[in-house]
Structure 1
Amino acid sequence: MCELLAMSANTPTDLCFSFTGLTRRGGETGPHKDGWGVSFYEGKGVRSFHDSDASASSRLAEVVQTHPIKSEVAICHIRQANVGEICLANTHPFIRELWGRYWVFAHNGQLSKFRAAEGFYEPVGDTDSEALFCDILNHLRSHCDRNAPLEEVVERLVRLSQTYAREGVFNLLLSNGDWLFTYCTTKMASITRRAPFGPARLKDADVTVDFESETTPNDIVSVIVTEPLTSDEQWDVYEPGEWRLWKKGEVIASGGK
């Protein structure tokens, strides 16, 4: 299976610490060596990096680790291929435009029998994940108005996620830059860091950071992952079937437990 990482914050924040821990699992401390990708929202724009090589040995991943790109929403994925060849077209996160915004999607799991209906959006690669993403956007484009309330969009996302989850493993990260939708069928955990901040140590690398020296008292930063990245913090584990909607570091809606 692949591993996911996302961030939701109330102020532009870099992902260097968490990204460093995750990349070690891409071929060093973990088997997810079949490519990686990360996307950072900057306003309505997206700065995205992809590589079909293992993240633990990727020079591009090293650049991202050491370059503090500031963002309020970021989505990252390291891949262990099960459907689709190992190539750049099959690396997550996938990106499409809908209603004048870039939507970013990453998926952990497998729905081997899933077949997307034909629609406006089509996959470029040959993964079930990208086909799922296109299916979600085609559904929203067909059934929701571009000015539909967020509650209506989220309700449809929950229904779609529950339908997909009945066909296999479906752990999801999805954002339009304003909010972050997460859905869990097997493994997902989160942590919200706010004042008073303290130190944290990565599980997969000999790296410790003192967040108090890196933040202000008003900062709220939440990290969502497949498996906890630190060894000295208390992570909040999702229940199977649970979904959470994040905005500016806080959960603004949830359900499905």
Structure 2
Amino acid sequence: MCQLLGMNCAQKTDFCFSFAGFRLRGGLYDKHSDGWGLAIYEGRGLRTFTDTLPAAESPLAEMVSKYPIKTLNMISHIRYATQGHKGDLANVHPFQRELWGISWCFCHNGDVPKFGSNKDWLSHPMLGSATERMFHPVGDTDSESLFCAILNALRAEYNEPPSLPDLYKTLDNLCKEIVKGEEDTSILNFLLCCGEYTQFAYSYPGARPGSKVWNGLFYTIRQPPFTTATLADCEYHVDFSTVTTENDRVAVITTKPLTTNEKWIEMKKGELLMFDRGLPYFHASQCEKVELMGRGLCSKVNAHKKRERFQSIDSILIPDEVETLDDTRAGENRPATRVQNFHKDVLRSH
């Protein structure tokens, strides 16, 4: 099957080290040779690179792996085609769409029988409360059909960008609906970005019939004190203590651990995580803390409501821990304050 890579960062960070190892799995050290893609956020803008060549051989992938683009949020995918035509750029992940003035992107690893490419698109189920199809697939993969179905369900549920807790709960329910009734045959691992700050990861792992290859998701958090990391796929290492600051923190999410000497945590079956500023959030209630920091879905659609919300919660914010957030939703730079100790109960012990 395919492999996924995601990064979510507290400070803008380049992805050269992780992508350098990841791309070698695209046809050199692994069989994922049916194309690759990468999507990175630059503010509200989304820059994408896709190619039908193997990532290990693609001149475009070689260029990207050496170009130090910095971002807060990115996902990448290397393809091993099991559904959808090979050599068709329309079937190369990540897929992207606009909803509520936000650029969303999505990549997937697994098999979702309800959305199989052997079925006509119009026979695919609609999710949640959706009754019409406003988002349609361009290619013929189950992954893109699933992405469109998720967006159609979100559009049916909300007239404008929801809060992060509401979005978490809705996505969690949709994931349960997707695998319901086909729990034994579904493999559903995906990364979903909804703007420059926020990334969701969902894992319903498994192995295809007759295969010993386990398809799940792992993540690690790189944060102070930084150490040296060594890639698993080639003889290459970086001493992060020499190239980072005390404010840096990066969450790396991938199908198989990229390094040999970092602590990788496997996501549980049916687990949905939200990442922001390089931290994982495990429940909708925890996502509220991110919302209070002014880091909800970034859109002009709900800018006026965001301003009203921030004014109404000023009394519960901690004035002595101030940082400036680029609040482009409101069209201004305004001071926003951290919720005290917001991250202490977020990271689980393992």
Question: Which TM bucket (shorter chain)?
Answer: over 0.9
Which range is displaced more, 9-18 or 140-149?
Answer: 140-149
Match of 1:180 in 2: 199
SS of residue matched to 2:113: coil
Letter in 2 for 1:130: E
**1:182-197 map, 5 Å:** 182-186=201-205, 187-197=216-226
Cα distance between partner residues in 2 of 1:194 and 1:112: 39
Runs of 4+ in 1 over 6 A off after TM superposition: none
Cα distance between partner residues in 1 of 2:252 and 2:113: 29
2:141 to 127, 132, 141: 127
**1:29-178 map, 5 Å:** 29-86=29-86, 87-114=88-115, 115-117=124-126, 119-166=133-180, 167=182, 168-177=186-195, 178=197
Asked whether the 8 Å contact 2:114–2:125 carries over to 1, the reply is no
Quickly say closer, same or farther: Cα 1:59–1:247, change in 2 above 3 A. Answer: same
1:232 positional shift: 1.2
Letter in 2 for 1:165: V
1:219 positional shift: 0.5
Match of 1:220 in 2: 249
Match of 2:272 in 1: 243
Q: After superposition, what is the alpha-carbon deviation per residue over 1:65-119, rounded to whole angstroms, capped at 9, x for unaligned?
A: 0001100000000011011001110000000000001001001001133224450
1:254 positional shift: 3.8
Q: After superposition, what is the alpha-carbon deviation per residue over 1:38-90, rounded to whole angstroms, capped at 9, x for unaligned?
A: 00001100111000110011110000100011000000000110110011100
Cα distance between partner residues in 2 of 1:148 and 1:224: 25
Q: After superposition, what is the alpha-carbon deviation per residue over 1:110-163, rounded to whole angstroms, capped at 9, x for unaligned?
A: 113322445000000000000000000000001113142221111111111122
1:205 positional shift: 1.5
Letter in 2 for 1:132: L
For normalisation by structure 1, the TM-score amounts to 0.96
Quickly say closer, same or farther: Cα 1:79–1:254, change in 2 above 3 A. Answer: farther
Letter in 2 for 1:40: I
Cα distance between partner residues in 2 of 1:204 and 1:136: 34
Cα distance between partner residues in 2 of 1:97 and 1:243: 22
Quickly say closer, same or farther: Cα 1:249–1:88, change in 2 above 3 A. Answer: same
Matched residues, number: 255
RCO higher in structure (CA 8 A, sep ≥6): 1
1:176 positional shift: 1.0
Letter in 2 for 1:137: L
Q: Percent identity of the aligned residues?
A: 44
1:6 positional shift: 0.2
Which range is displaced more, 107-116 or 203-212?
Answer: 107-116
SS of residue matched to 1:230: coil
Cα distance between partner residues in 2 of 1:146 and 1:162: 23
Unaligned runs of 5+ in 1: none
Asked whether the 8 Å contact 2:189–2:202 carries over to 1, the reply is yes
1:252 positional shift: 2.8
1:165 positional shift: 2.8
Q: CA RMSD in A?
A: 1.2
Asked whether the 8 Å contact 2:13–2:71 carries over to 1, the reply is yes
1:15 positional shift: 0.8
